[in-house]
Chain A
Amino acid sequence: MIRGKIRSTKHHNVLPGFGLTMGYTTLYLSILVLLPLSMIFFYTARMGWTEFADTVLDPRVVASYKLSFGASLAAALINVAFGVLLAWVLVRYRFPGKKIIDGLVDLPFALPTAVAGIALTTVYAPNGWIGSLLGFKVAYTPIGVVIALIFIGLPFVVRMVQPVLQNLEKEVEEASSSLGASRLQTFRKVIFPELLPAALAGFTLAFARSLGEYGSVVFIAGNMPFKTEITPLIILTKLEQFDYSGATAIATVMLVTSFLLLLVINLIQWWTNRKFIHG
């Protein structure tokens, strides 16, 4: 009895104390993430400010930012809409082949990006199955870039939203409709608030992943200057000239911009969490 009492006063954790775990986490993150990233800044620091500004504000580079950020944003938004829909179907309904479709969702994770790029280009090229049916060009235009980014971003949204939907109890919806809410109202007031944080997290992941994507995009883009050059390709062209600092300067811009964007999205997430769940 007494021993039990003593034991309950000392709080037991599965993991060892905070000091050790925090230290370990910091070391691990430093070696794997922070050190390699800091090398980028280290290289960039070799340039002067004017040289840096000239490199990253070159009209051709700016055009590539617009494409990379714009296409990533468009792809992530489309993915949120259709990813939620897909997750909904996979969670709520039973149909033959459901397991297979569920497995297919993860495919973009597993495929080497170059394979995905070549496959998409084959299908959407003017002589491809889909490309030949469409009245407008898809491959070698910004639309092609968006399609490649939708392809690689889809699993993020689906896998984020799925568990939330699974935990949503049907009774809650039944209660809301028995209290006289219309379907739309039920969705807006009951389901949507629950889904929003997960959908936002999926959006963030898909967007961040798309920004740095090279392999699957480079085949379908066509790489025409000012029109369909993505920023990672510009970085590569700098490397081809053995211009390491120029390459890292552009990488720095991408890194800082991505970080700021992710920070903003995370703040929005935190705010929606408070508003809907605790508010």
Chain B
Amino acid sequence: MVKNALIGIIVALVFYASGCSQGETTSKKGNDSKEAVELLNVSYDPTRELYQEFNKEFAKHWEEETGQKVTIQQSHGGSGKQARSVIDGLEADVVTLALAYDIDEIAAKRGIISEDWQSKLEDNSTPYTSTIVFLVRKGNPKNIQDWDDLIRDDVSVITPNPKTSGGARWNYLAAWSYADKTFNGDEKKIKGYMRDLFKNVEVLDSGARDATNSFVQRGLGDVLIAWENEAYLSINELGKDEFEIVNPTLSILAEPPVAVVDKIAEKKGTAKVAKAYLEYLYTETGQKIAAENYYRPRDPEVLKEYADKFADIELVTVDDAFGGWQKAQETHFNDGGTFDEIYAE
């Protein structure tokens, strides 16, 4: 019995080892031959539809260009969780996450991405952007027009937990920027505004999608603070006669960045195709796919084409207003930051 089991285990191990080495040899040859190659793109939640479309286009383009077949595997989840998977050993060729902080952490913790990754591609390595808008119930019964309406006593707000959701951090920073402008940088008044805002939040869901569900499916709250693309998706999937989008006077330029995971791609021999994959996001085709999926294209020409979709809102950037993501994370979202202060007793 035990002997048989041992033999079984040994056989399995031998198979596994040979399988591994075989896998490595084929991918090593990936770039110099015309053999099929596989990419793993580790992304976050709301990009599902975008990359489904984009992957098809890129595979077609790459085969025409080089004659090589490429298949792209997608992985989606909360941005922070996805970054941790890569840190813990998930072999991603490229990462396309919700905020630069998550990619910074991969670079810092494992050194598989170079520290200066954000300067490697155009526009801060962000081929598409988004912003933070409000979703309200049809007819806007509470007449919510701007950030100052969210602290009214009769308004209930839905936003996810900045401790667990990347999207929620963008929401928080957008609200902070508005208060910053309104109170001319008076920290005490800004914090007062943030406290009043979160007094109106009755549920802190752990992810952006969950918050959308609370607002849309459970009928909670009068206003959902959300990614622009999520807000559009809600309207499209759940009927135009139930919700509408309200654009605040000021919001934040959300930059979900992309990067090649250098060391992994080199090891797998996919560096060239991975780089081409991300660069293709910047081409007209890539930009159009982004716009079709309600992400704001960087290319001004394409943006003009889709101008009716994207309202002209005054946008601040994380770098200008908060001194970059590392600093924003430390000041606002790490333990003891301004978000914790709101709930401290």
What is the interface of chain A, defined by CB distance below 8 A to chain B?
Answer: 16, 20, 24, 58-60, 118, 121-122, 125-128, 139-140, 218-219, 222-226, 233, 236-243, 246
Contacts and interface: CB of A to CB of B under 8 A. Distances in A.
A236 B206 contact: yes
Contacts of B335: 58, 238, 241, 243, 246
B168 to A, nearest CB: 10
Contact of A59 (B87, B217, B333, B345): B345
Nearest to A20: B2
Contacts of A59: 345
A226 B345 contact: yes
Contact of B218 (A20, A127, A236, A242): A127
B46 interface: no
A240 B205 CA distance: 14
B220 A126 contact: yes
B177 to A, nearest CB: 22
B217 A140 contact: no
A52 B302 CA distance: 53
Contacts of A242: 83-84, 87, 105, 109
B343 A126 contact: no
Contact of B210 (A58, A122, A219, A224): A219
B19 interface: no
Given A140-B203, A239-B84, A240-B164, A225 B218 contact: no
B163 A127 contact: no
B229 interface: no
A139 to B, nearest CB: 8
B204 A126 contact: no
Given A121-B218, A126-B219, A242-B109, A237 B204 contact: no
A140 B340 CA distance: 20
Given A122-B217, A126-B219, A224-B204, A237 B2 contact: no
Given A223-B203, A223-B206, A242-B84, A237 B163 contact: yes
Interface string B94-110: 00000000000100010
Contacts of A58: 335
A229 B149 CA distance: 28
Contacts of A121: 218
B161 interface: yes
B329 interface: yes
Given A125-B218, A125-B219, A240 B204 contact: no
Contacts of A241: 163, 329, 333-335
A87 B109 CA distance: 52
Given A239-B84, A240-B164, A223 B205 contact: yes
B297 interface: no
A222 B204 contact: yes
Contacts of A246: 335
Given A122-B217, A140-B202, 7 more contacts: A60-B340, A219-B210, A236-B164, A238-B335, A241-B163, A242-B84, A243-B335
A115 to B, nearest CB: 13
B80 interface: yes
A211 B299 CA distance: 51
Given A223-B161, A242-B84, A242-B105, A218 B218 contact: no
Interface in B214-249: 217-220
A242 B217 CA distance: 32
A16 B334 CA distance: 55
Contacts of A140: 202-203
A20 B334 CA distance: 51
A113 to B, nearest CB: 13
Nearest to B343: A225
Interface string B326-337: 000100011100
A1 B180 CA distance: 99
Nearest to B87: A242
Interface string B73-117: 000000011011001000000000000000001000100000000
A21 to B, nearest CB: 10
A160 B215 CA distance: 40
17 contacts: A59-B345, A60-B343, A122-B218, A125-B219, A126-B220, A127-B219, A127-B220, A128-B218, A140-B202, A223-B206, A224-B203, A224-B343, A225-B340, A226-B343, A240-B81, A241-B334, A242-B87
A236 B164 CA distance: 7
Contacts of B161: 223, 237
A243 B219 CA distance: 35
A217 B309 CA distance: 38
Given A60-B343, A122-B218, A242-B109, A237 B164 contact: yes
Contacts of A240: 80-81, 163-164
Contacts of A237: 161, 163-164
Contacts of B202: 140, 222, 224
A122 B218 CA distance: 6
A218 B203 CA distance: 11
Contacts of A139: 218
Nearest to A223: B204
Q: Most chain-A CB neighbours within 10 Å: which of B163, B202, B219, B220?
A: B163
A222 B218 CA distance: 13
Top 9 A-B pairs, shortest CB-CB distance: A225-B343, A237-B163, A127-B219, A125-B218, A240-B80, A223-B204, A222-B203, A242-B105, A241-B334
B242 to A, nearest CB: 14
Nearest to A15: B1
Contacts of B105: 242
